[in-house]
Amino acid sequence: MARTVFHVDVNSAFLSWSAVQMLRNGYDTDLRLIPSAIGGDEEKRKGIVLAKSIPAKKYGVITGEPLWQARKKCPELVIVPANYGLYSRMSSLFTEIIDHEFPVWQKYSVDECFIDCTGMEGIRGDPIQSAEALRSEIKERLGFTVSIGVSSCKVLAKMAGELKKPDAVSSIFPYEVEKKLWPLPVDELFMVGRSTARALNLMGISQIGDLAKTDPEIMKKRFGKHGLSIWLYANGIDQEPVVSTMREEPKSCSQSVTLPHDMSCEKDIIPVISRLCAALAYRLRRLGKCCCEVTVFFKDDKFVTVSRQQRLFRPTDISGELFEKTRSLFRLIYDGRPIRALGIGFSALTPKEGCAFTLFDDPANLGRKFAIDAAADSVRSRFGGESLLPASALISPTFEHLKRFEPNEGHIRTVCPF
């Protein structure tokens, strides 16, 4: 039986999700219909375009460029700050619909997934009809649009989804490869980046069809295994299965921030570590985990990253203990250079139920620490992370900057309460 695979991609995800939220909150203009962009915070030196609307794209605004450059191209550009908590929630709603409708699907990123619809024609109709129904359901229930590519394999489904945007269903079945895929520029092929495209152009390969007709041995000799892979993709050949997305137990988590200015004074840096540690320890307890290893990492003003890990004497989720360990580890590796970005990580996570005390632990003292964290967590869950912070996070003269931090999402997709 021939396979049927969908690739579902949210159109301009970050911008669409922000637009939906703002409309629901009474904003009278749809960001998707005007020149707009999702941008980082320039005061925190994250001032780049993260996503842009189609009207903004017509002005030449591109993802990844500095906001000042985007404004120069489009003076009336409306810039909305990123909201990663919102994106995480919208992504979950998006995948909940997929999970409810299809038994076999694979999350590919925060805003796209693959679906194996093989054998579902009797339930959902022919593949194009099924994809249209899914597209309409997402638009009606969630308020944003998706583009869906339909084919017999993952790579062709992903390429098909790029043919029509936004809010569309398109296909590239094997018999359509020569007509729909081969005329496209070679740099539009999945897994062909800028450097590979330049190298292919120098070989006289400008269209995907040119690549498909090239001797695969030449491609393998020039680019190795990657050359053979893109040759197969150009010919519409891809045997990779759609692997069902399973909710795995997290093995680590991390938290980091880009500082509002370079810091080299320990009195300024330690409160940042305290703030990060409090947020990450809270997240750890919500997961019901203890960590066995801590990591401290920072990036200096030359963008050089320094990191160090250290094993703990025993697993813990106690905020005070984790702060003491991360502070000591930072002091061990810090040499006084200016710091641009700073982060911590907890790894080798283990269920809290399986964590044992040692002979050197004072049960009464541990009980007090557990009670303090439990009380603090209760306050934060009701009133938000800013409602209660450790005193060690308040002693810096730069605290007015620190309290506006929105720590980046770490390795696990839990919305940071701070």
pLDDT in tens, the chain (418 residues): 689 999 999 999 999 999 999 999 899 999 999 999 998 766 655 578 989 999 999 999 998 888 989 999 999 999 999 888 899 889 989 999 998 889 899 999 999 999 999 989 888 889 999 999 999 999 999 999 999 999 999 999 999 999 998 899 999 999 999 999 999 999 999 999 989 999 999 999 999 999 999 999 999 999 999 999 999 999 999 999 998 866 556 778 888 887 878 899 888 899 899 888 888 888 888 888 899 999 999 999 888 889 999 999 888 988 889 999 999 999 999 999 999 889 999 998 888 775 656 555 666 776 787 788 788 877 766 665 555 666 666 554 444 444 433 333 333 322 232 3
What's domain 1-175's architecture? 2-Layer Sandwich (3.30)
Catalytic residue numbers? 112
Query: ∠205-208-213 over CA atoms, to 5°?
Result: 70
Q: Give the per-residue pLDDT at 1.
A: 61
The CATH label, of 3.50.50.60, 1.20.1300.10, 3.40.50.1970, 1.10.150.20, for the domain at 182-234 is: 1.10.150.20
**Helix, strand, coil content of the chain in percent (nearest 5):** 45, 20, 35
What's residue 116's pLDDT? 95
Of 170, 160, 172, the closest CA to residue 132 belongs to 170
Rounded to whole angstroms, how far apart are CA atoms 163 and 178?
14
Would the pTM of this model clear 0.75, i.e. be above it?
no
pLDDT at residue 172, rounded to an integer? 97
In angstroms, rounded to a whole number, what is the distance separating the alpha carbons of residues 46 and 286? 29
Domain spans in the chain, listed from the N-terminal domain onward: 1-175, 182-234, 252-402
Q: What pLDDT, on the 0 to 100 scale, is given for residue 400?
A: 43
235 to 161, 175, 217: CA distances (angstroms): 17, 11, 15
226: number of Cβ within 10 Å: 15
Q: Is 78 helix (H, G, I), strand (E, B) or coil?
A: strand
Q: How far apart are CA 113 and CA 98, in angstroms?
A: 9
320 by DSSP, 3-state: which? helix
Three-class SS state of 305: strand
Q: Kindly report the CA angle at 68 between 67 and 72, in degrees rounded to 5?
A: 115
Cα–Cα distance between 410 and 418 in angstroms, integer? 13
Looking at the domain that runs over 252-402, which CATH code has it been given?
3.30.1490.100
54 within 8 A of 60, measured Cβ to Cβ: no
